[in-house]
Every structure is written in structure tokens, then in C-alpha cells.
Amino acid sequence: MAHIAVVLAAGKGTRMRSALPKVLHEVAGRPMLAWVLDAVAATGPQRTIVVVGHGGDQVMASLPPGVEACVQEPQGGTGHAVEVALAHVGDGDEDVVVVPGDVPLLREDTLAALAQGGEAAATILTAVLGDPTGYGRVVRGEDGQVKAVVEQTDADAETLAIAEVNVGMYRFRRADLAEALAGIGVDNAQGEKYLTDVVGWLVAHDRPVEAVEADPVETMGVNDHVGLARAGRVRRRWILERWMGDGVAVDDPETTYVDAGVTLAPGVRLHPGVHLKGDTRVEAGAEIGPDSYLEDTVVESGAKIWYSVVRGARVGPDVQVGPYASLRPGTVLARGAKAGTFVEMKNTTVAEGAKVPHLSYLGDAAVGERANVGAGTITCNYDGYDKYRTEIGADAFIGSDTMLVAPVTIGEAAVTGAGSVITRDVAPGALAVERSPQREIPGYAARRAARKATHEAED
Ligand code: UD1
Ligand code: CA
């Protein structure tokens, strides 16, 4: 049976204590709702409708193309939310699959099995929990058939002792759902229209409801930051297990954080303490870490990055980065280049084989092939108002502690003397030195010692 999907995401998420709508909080680098919508899309629904309310504009802005939104205002409960969605959808006879927006661990197969349907008027997913507190309990009759779902706030002691809970995911036959929603009221502790009451209504009207037990981990709903962190840990483990299966070596999965959007090649090695975020891609044979943070960065084969922060950069084949480098957006290192200890770069290209080994800042710069940039070199790229470029030619040798006051160009194979403040272009092959001549005063140490001795004698 064809189906439409309704994702409930209008609730406030009070326990997050956050201005950000609950479903937009991230798990492994993606909003919870994005994970849910992936699982929903895999079931092949005719239409997908997200019910929004609190923070609706933000939630709507996050939706992928093809997913519709409808606004539930005010929020009159989960049953009311589904009514609003059905009104938005209009006529039709597809099944209706309902999923909450806060279940970021939901697996495609589980939801697909639910969406497949069956003969019953409704199928609900359940889980057996060690601690069912807070959930709606699944009440079964002596024959084992589902009788009703009773909310925590409406349950008596006997019902509260039931360990099987409703995880908030359902498949309904459309006509039965609409009829039941029209038939139920708001006579409960919260004065809301509960979607869960549809179950009892259907059973009472001789339309049996099926229950399918699911894995409590993947159906876990996130209500607060403790749950968010727990879900993040599980998702990250799944992501790493997938990459390890593909041949990626992960020394310590417990301290390795790889976001959903990252791509890794077989033969990559991740040392402990690595964070790979955003749209990062690492090619075969590259080694990252220990303790490195990469965001929106491409690392080509054989490169090695350790103890470094790299954002929006491209690290070429066999490049070495770190320890303690900070590469900022627009940095491109070509094959065999080096950005070494305590080196910061921004919007800078370093051509093949060029080295920046120690203690440097290069911003808005281009370094030519095989050039060597000495320790302590700084591009003075900012005059307080604007940024300017520095060009360093191929095979140039920048002496230690050179200040390159941009805009400035150092010609091919040119040399700057250590400690120079370079304010004018240097011709190819030339040496530019800017420093006062060294003076030498003979016998100074002895005279100084004698002066000290005299002072002490006087005291
Ligand atoms: C709901 C179920 C409960 C189940 C639990 C599983 C009901 C009445 N109870 O309880 O049986 O054990 O989920 O997590 O359905 N929402 C709306 N509009 C509303 C109210 C809620 O869109 O008016 C959305 C929320 O944003 C959320 C979902 O529906 O995504 C569930 O709402 P929530 O308030 O968390 O329901 P629970 O009390 O947890
Ligand atoms: Ca909930």
C-alpha cells in the first residue's frame, strides 16, 4: 500500500532549555530531523509532511526539497498534529506513517518494515524498556492483543508497571485514522488530543491494532541534552563502524568524532582525539592525529596531519601539517609541501615542495615551488583597514624573522636576510636585507665585570 509520511515536530522541546527548536539540535553533525527525514525518504512515501510549530520558520528553512511543512498553531497534542497534517494533505487513501522528529537513531529498515503495512487498521512500534518512565504504556489483553496506549500522566499503578512502551511511530489506514481522530476527545490529564487514543478507539470499534516490537536504542526519543549526547555517541559509533568496515583504521573509536558528511578512503588512519567535521574528505593512506580538528577540508593521499586545526583547506598528497598548525579557509598546500610547528595560514597557497616549517603567519599569500620560508616569518597583510597580498616566487629563500609588509612580491630565487622588514618588491635572484649593521665592542664583558666588582666594594 502506498503511504504518506507525517513527521511531528511542532512541540517545544522544553527540556532542551534552548532557543533552537529541539529537532534542529545536532547528532553527529546533522540536525535530528535530517536523520529522521533520511529514514522516512528511504520508505518511498508519496508525500512527506513535517508538522511545525515552535520555531517553525527555522524548521521549515532546514527542510530538503520535496518535503512539505504544515503549521500546527497552537499545539493541541499529537492527535491534533496529525489532524492538521491530514487537512494539509487533502483527500486520498494512502496509508499514513507517523514518526516523531526527535528519533535520530531510527534505521531505514525498521521504518520501511512498518510502512509496508499489513492487514490491521493500525500498526504501532513498541519497545520494552528497563525504565519505562515517561512513555505511554502498551496495554495488552489476556489474549496478548493490544487494547490501548495509556500515557504516563493518565496511568494507574498497575499500568505504570508495564515495561512495553509506545515509541511514537505508527502506520494507519487513512480512513480509520480520520474516523478515530474525529471520535476521540481531549479528556485526559493534559487536555490534549492524543494520537495514542486512536489505538484504544480502533480496538473498541473492532478494528484490531498490531504491535511490532523494535530495538529500544534506535527508537529512543531525545528530550534533553543527556539524551542528545547519548544519541550522538551511538550515531558516531555506527558511522565509525561503517568506515572501519570499509578499511579505515580507527585507533580509538571512543575519542574519534567523524560527522555524517565526512568521506574516508580505505587505508586512512585516524589516531586518537580526531574530529572530522562538515564536508571533509580524506584520501587513501593519509594519517590524521593524534588530536586534530578538521572541518570542510580535503586531505589527499599520503598526507600527515598531527595536533592541528584545519578548516576550509586543501592538503595535497604527501603534505605534512603540524604539530600545532592552524590552517584557515582558503589554504591550499600542493604535493609534498609543509606547514610545520606553530604555523598559521589563511587564504594562502603553498606550491609543490615548498616548506614553511616553523613559527610563521602567512595570510593572503602565495608561496612558489620549493621556496623555503624561515622560522618566524610573518606576512603583514592587514593595515587596519584592508588586506593585501604577498607573493613569494619559486625557489625563494625567506630568512628567519622576515616581516613581509604586503602588498609585496619576492621574485624567483630571491633571498631575504634574517630579521628584515621587507616593504618593497625584491627582484628575482636578488638579496634584500633591511637591518642596521652589527657593531662589535671588544673587551666589553671584562669591563662590565669590573664595574660590578667596584659597586659591590662600595656597598
Ligand atoms: C508521545 C506519546 C507516548 C510515547 C512517546 C514516545 C502521545 C500522546 N504520547 O509522548 O505514548 O511513549 O511520545 O516518545 O502521543 N508534537 C507535535 N504537536 C503537538 C504535540 C507534540 O507536533 O501538539 C510532536 C513533538 O514535537 C514530538 C512528538 O510530537 O516530536 C511527540 O510529542 P511529545 O510531547 O514529545 O510526546 P510525549 O509526551 O513524549
Ligand atoms: Ca517525547
Domain assignment of residue 454, yes or no? no
Candidate list 80, 88, 275, 358, residue with the active-site label:
358
Low-confidence stretches of the chain (pLDDT < 50) are none
Report CA-CA distances (Å) from 250 to 45, 230, 239, 271, 289. 37, 21, 11, 6, 11
Q: pLDDT digit string (tens) for 287-328?
A: 999 999 999 999 999 999 999 999 999 999 999 999 999 999
Pocket test for ligand 1, best of 75, 78, 88 (most atoms within 8 A of CB): 78
C-alpha cell at 376: 618566524
The residue from 195, 213, 231 where one domain ends is 213
Domain holding 116, by residue range, is 3-213
For residue 358, indicate whether it is catalytic.
yes
Domain end (from 213, 231, 256): 213
Same domain? For 118 and 257 the reply is no
Residues, the chain: 459
Residue 322 located in a structural domain: yes
Predicted local confidence at residue 119, as pLDDT? 84
Is 208 found in the same domain as 300? no
Tell me, using a 6 A CB cutoff, whether residue 75 lines ligand 1: yes
Residue 452 lies in a domain: no
- Closest ligand, as measured to the CA of 219: 1
Does 385 share its domain with 314? yes
Q: How many domains does the chain have?
A: 2
The reply to whether 298 falls in a domain is yes
- Ligand 1 pocket check for 101: Cβ under 6 Å: yes
Segment 333-371, tens digit of pLDDT: 999 999 999 999 999 999 999 999 999 999 999 999 999
Q: Which atom of ligand 1 is nearest to the CA of 165?
A: 12
Domain co-membership, 132 together with 275: no
Instruction: Report pLDDT for 1.
Output: 82
Whether 191 and 265 map to the same domain: the answer is no
Cβ–Cβ < 8 Å for 21, 55: yes
Q: What is the C-alpha to C-alpha distance for residues 160 and 311, in angstroms, rounded to an integer? A: 51
Find the 225 Cα to ligand 2 centroid distance in Å: 13
Looking at the fold, whether 147 and 194 belong to one and the same domain comes out as: yes
Nearest atom in ligand 1 to 8's CA: 22
Note whether 204 and 258 are same-domain residues. no
Cα–Cα distances in angstroms (integers) from residue 273 to residues 251, 276, 294, 310, in the given order = 10, 10, 11, 14
Any ligand 1 atom below 6 A from CB of 299: no
Query: Does 273 lie in the same domain as 201?
Result: no
CATH number of 315's domain: 2.160.10.10
For residue 442, the model assigns a pLDDT of 98
What are phi and psi for residue 241, nearest 5 degrees? -65, -35
State the residue for C-alpha cell 606550491: 351
Q: Answer yes or no: is 375 within a domain.
A: yes
The dihedrals phi and psi of 124, each to the nearest 5 degrees, come to: -120, 150
Compute how many other C-beta atoms are within 10 angstroms of the C-beta atom of residue 446. 9
Q: Report whether residue 136 contacts ligand 1, using a CB cutoff of 6 Å.
A: yes
39 CA to centre of ligand 1 in angstroms: 19
**47-94 confidence digits (pLDDT tens):** 999 999 999 999 999 999 999 999 999 999 999 999 999 999 999 999
Domain boundary (169, 195, 213) is at: 213
> Which residues, in sequence order, are bridge partners of residue 30?
27
Nearest CA to ligand 1 atom 3: 136
384 shares a domain with 290: yes
Q: Is 126 in the pocket of ligand 1 (CB under 6 A)?
A: no
Which-ligand-closest: CA of 14? Answer: 1
CA of 119 to the centre of ligand 1 (A): 26
Asked if residue 160 and residue 16 are part of one domain, the reply reads yes
In a domain, 450, yes or no: no
Ligand 1 within 6 A of 165 CB?
Answer: yes
How crowded is residue 15: how many other Cβ atoms within 10 Å of its Cβ?
13
In this structure, the residue with its CA closest to atom 36 of ligand 1 is 78
Strands (E), 101-244: 122-128, 137-140, 146-150, 164-172, 209-213
Report the CATH number at residue 138.
3.90.550.10
Check pocket membership of 221 for ligand 1, CB cut-off 6 A: yes
Q: How far is the CA of 222 from the centre of ligand 2 (A)?
A: 7
Q: Quick check: pTM over 0.95?
A: no
Look at residue 381 and tell me if it is in a domain: yes
Tell whether 235 is covered by a domain.
no
Q: Which atom of ligand 1 is nearest to the CA of 223?
A: 35
Atom of ligand 1 nearest to the CA of 77: 23
Distance 78 CA to ligand 1 centre (A): 6
76 lines ligand 1 (CB under 6 A): yes
Q: Tell me 67's DSSP state.
A: E
CA of 90 to the centre of ligand 2 (A): 27
Which residues on neighbouring strands pair with residue 250, listed in sequence order?
270
**Pair (400, 270) in one structural domain:** yes
Residues 57 and 168 in one domain: yes
The alpha carbon of 280 and the centre of ligand 1 are apart by a number of angstroms equal to: 35
Q: Is the CB–ligand 1 distance for residue 9 below 6 Å?
A: yes
